[in-house]
Amino acid sequence: MHKSTTTFLSLGSNLDDKIQYLEAAVDAINHSIGNVCSISSVFQTPAWGFEGNDFYNICIEVSTELPAIVLLESLLALETALGRKRSNTQGYENRTIDIDIILFDDLVMSSEKLTVPHPKALMRKFVLLPLEEIKNDLVFPESKVHIKEAIHNCEDSSTITKTDIQISTK
């Protein structure tokens, strides 16, 4: 039995029924990966790094007993189950669901498969704003940057709109 770990995940969708994909992902995570403790509001954001549909993004806090690599493998399988198709081309593209591990407790690691904290988290408002909403006293491990400072220093000039949409677990 592994000890319980707090992980923060960023979820996004920009294809078809985006809310349905986010709800399905949150439910699957809650039922098979760990207890979903908090869910941010839904934020509407432009595609980042490519021309595409607007995204709906959320961050969730999850208590899990899975080791980091097993969590990653489980999330990748969940993305595939929800219709995520990965192409061999470089760069970003539209997707039914995208789930990134932002933080895994205070773990700092970099391997071929997984880097935590997520290497681009501090550069993305669509990660930082939902994350601040559910954990406003968060301090990133290693860099020791407080979430409010991270948002203030973020150079992402995208327009991020907090919606009235709320996702909940079933």
d(CA 62, CA 9): 8
Q: Which residues of the chain fall short of a pLDDT of 50?
A: none
Q: Give the gyration radius of the chain's Cα atoms.
A: 15
Phi, psi dihedrals of residue 3, rounded to the nearest 5°? -75, 155
| pLDDT the model gives residue 51 | 83
**Helix/strand/coil (H, E, C) string of 83-141?**
CCCCCCCCCCCCCCCEEEEEEECCCCEECCCCEECCCCHHHCHHHHHHHHHHCCCCECC
Per DSSP, the three-state class of 61 is strand
pTM score: 0.94
Cβ burial of 34 (10 Å; 0-12, 13-18, 19+) is buried
pLDDT tens across 37-62, in order? Answer: 999 999 999 887 778 899 999 999 99
| pLDDT the model gives residue 76 | 94
| pLDDT the model gives residue 90 | 56
